[in-house]
Amino acid sequence: MTSFWGFMFHQLTFRPKPLSPDVRLDGKTAIVTGSNVGLGFEAASELAAHGLSRLVLAVRSEPKGEEAKSKIAAASPACDIRVWPLDQEDVASVVAFAERARAQLDRLDIACLNAGLKRLEFSQSPKTRHEAHVQINHLGTALLSLLLLEPLRRTARETGAPSRMSITASSVAFFIAPTETLTAVPEGHDGSLLKWLDDPASFGTAGSDKRYSLSKLLNVLWMRALAAHVDGKEVVINTFNPGYCRSEFHRVDPSAERISHWIAWSTEQGAWHITDAAVRHPGSHGKYLSEQRIRPFSKFVISPEGKATQEKVWDETLELFRKEVEGIDLSEFE
């Protein structure tokens, strides 16, 4: 179900489960972005608790990352935990992070791309001038997903087992009417969807969470396009819905805060969806998971219009990276 009432039904009746005690991650390395608090922190903690050998906490604030490291290390002292800065508003930071991963990690088995933001007013990222949700939730995640393919593939070839990449989406990706913003670009934007999304006129009414929902739809469309270009025998790429959870993430949205006491899962329960998507479901390449199982995409996503929008998002995103990311090699996708 991808309707609001479907969301409510699953939110009130489904009970998320942690990884089975039988799951062992000994010898493996994982990166979790947005991992100093909330779902990312809890997911990183669970991975470490299952024997993970090396954990990279990718965070905007290194002091907060060090606090998270101390808490995880207290429960999982055998795990080698590293705190690396990552600011998805800054292209140079994303590139530097990926270069560090390629240079310093002898293997990378799991990448949980979880960093994101939610705002109710239009704002631009200072360094790129792109709308903040588009920059952080879509462009930052998309760029990192491309740049981490090399260490993920290398590990798969060396170990003989596919590596994993999971992108945090949300069921709200399917609540919005894409025709409102995605499929009808007004004149004056050269027909570019991304240019239109950088225009304050595209944002809609202040106080609405529609742009956050749209950014999650961009995550879904990007994942589908990326998975179509990557061999699932080397890297299993999926996206998932962590459900509605109590988290600092919703602190900017009073309406979300009000209903959290009634229907929200705990932060830990939401994080179990991250680890579930990243460790289980070997057949989930190019798929969407919700309630810890593979679920169908919305009608729009699989429609001819949705597929055309997916191709447009893919093409425009790669073209933007060619212009804004110095030295990036995207030749394999041409």
pLDDT in tens, 11-44: 777 889 999 999 999 999 999 999 999 999 999 9
What pLDDT shows up at residue 135?
A: 99
User: Cα separation of 52 and 60, whole Å?
Assistant: 23
* 216 in catalytic set: yes
Beta-carbon count within 10 A of 231 CB: 12
Q: List the chain domain ranges.
A: 4-176+206-303
Which of the residue ranges 19-23, 69-73, 251-255 would you say has the lowest mean pLDDT? Answer: 251-255
* 118 in catalytic set: no
DSSP 8-class letter at 136: I
Predicted confidence (pLDDT) at residue 203 exceeds the cutoff of 80: yes
* 35 in catalytic set: no
Under the banding of pLDDT at 50, 70 and 90, the label for residue 128 is very high
User: Cα separation of 238 and 166, whole Å?
Assistant: 5
Handedness of CA 56, 62, 63, 65 (dihedral sign): negative
Predicted confidence (pLDDT) at residue 250 exceeds the cutoff of 60: no
Catalytic, out of 45, 125, 202, 212: 212
If you average pLDDT over each of 82-86, 182-186, 258-262, which comes out highest? Answer: 82-86
Under the banding of pLDDT at 50, 70 and 90, the label for residue 204 is confident
Handedness of CA 212, 218, 224, 230 (dihedral sign): negative
Segments in the chain forming alpha helices (H): 4-13, 38-49, 62-75, 91-104, 132-133, 141-147, 149-159, 193-197, 210-229, 254-263, 267-279, 299-302, 304-324
Under the banding of pLDDT at 50, 70 and 90, the label for residue 1 is very low
- The pTM of this model reads 0.93
User: Cα separation of 312 and 324, whole Å?
Assistant: 18
- pLDDT tens digits for 211-247? 999 999 999 999 999 999 999 999 999 999 998 877 6
So what CATH class is 4-176+206-303? alpha beta
What pLDDT shows up at residue 248?
A: 66
Question: What DSSP letter does each residue of 270-326 carry, written as one string?
Answer: HHHHHHHHHHS-TT-TT-EEETTEEEPPPHHHHSHHHHHHHHHHHHHHHHHHHHHST
Under the banding of pLDDT at 50, 70 and 90, the label for residue 327 is very high
- Hey, what are 20's tokens? 């089975």
What pLDDT shows up at residue 244?
A: 84
What pLDDT shows up at residue 209?
A: 84
Catalytic, out of 28, 216, 287, 312: 216
Catalytic, out of 166, 170, 213, 247: 170
What pLDDT shows up at residue 315?
A: 98
What pLDDT shows up at residue 177?
A: 73
- How far is residue 119 from each of residues 94, 134, 174, 215, measured CA to CA in Å? 21, 11, 18, 11
Q: For residues 128 and 191, which has the higher predicted lDDT (pLDDT)? A: 128
To the nearest whole number, what is the mean pLDDT of the chain? 92
Handedness of CA 27, 32, 37, 42 (dihedral sign): negative
